[in-house]
Amino acid sequence: MDVQTLQVLQFLTHYGLHFLAPGLIAYVFFRKKWKKAWLLMALTILVDLDHLLADPIFDPSRCSIGFHPLHTWPAMLVYAVMLCFPKTRIVGLGLLFHMLTDYQDCIWNAYIRSLVL
């Protein structure tokens, strides 16, 4: 498979996991209020506002995990604690899933870079 096709698949996987997968998670785990849960989890994309602190703001080859302040292990610990409270559970789950999504994107980047270099 050529690099361009891989990059299209990477893009579709990344944004599918950011916006569509939370719908599935919401439907499975929060059936009674799945639309609201989906919206809340999709809104966790706002955590990417921490990219505004970086220079350049957007760099497709950079791994967000461990780089941006809201994508670090201490932040993830806070998201994990949010799972313990019913009022913050959905957002905490959305944030942790966001981190997983960004992490799998880092693996794509490393793999594609290994093919190019």
> Which residues would be at the binding site for Zn ion (CB under 5 A)?
48, 64, 102
Is 48 or 72 the residue whose CB approaches Zn ion more closely?
A: 48
What minimum distance in Å lies between the beta carbon of 113 and Zn ion? Answer: 19
What minimum distance in Å lies between the beta carbon of 71 and Zn ion? Answer: 6
- With a CB cutoff of 8 Å and minimum separation 6, the contacts of 106 are 63, 64, 65
Report, in angstroms and rounded to the nearest whole number, the Rg of the chain calculated over CA atoms: 15
Is 30 or 98 the residue whose CB approaches Zn ion more closely?
A: 98
Is 10 or 64 the residue whose CB approaches Zn ion more closely?
A: 64
Is 18 or 37 the residue whose CB approaches Zn ion more closely?
A: 18
What minimum distance in Å lies between the beta carbon of 79 and Zn ion? Answer: 12
Closest CA to 30 of 18, 44, 15, 41: 41
Q: Confirm if 47 and 98 have CB atoms less than 8 A apart.
A: yes
Closest CA to 41 of 103, 99, 102, 90: 90
Closest CA to 17 of 108, 112, 110: 108
What minimum distance in Å lies between the beta carbon of 102 and Zn ion? Answer: 4
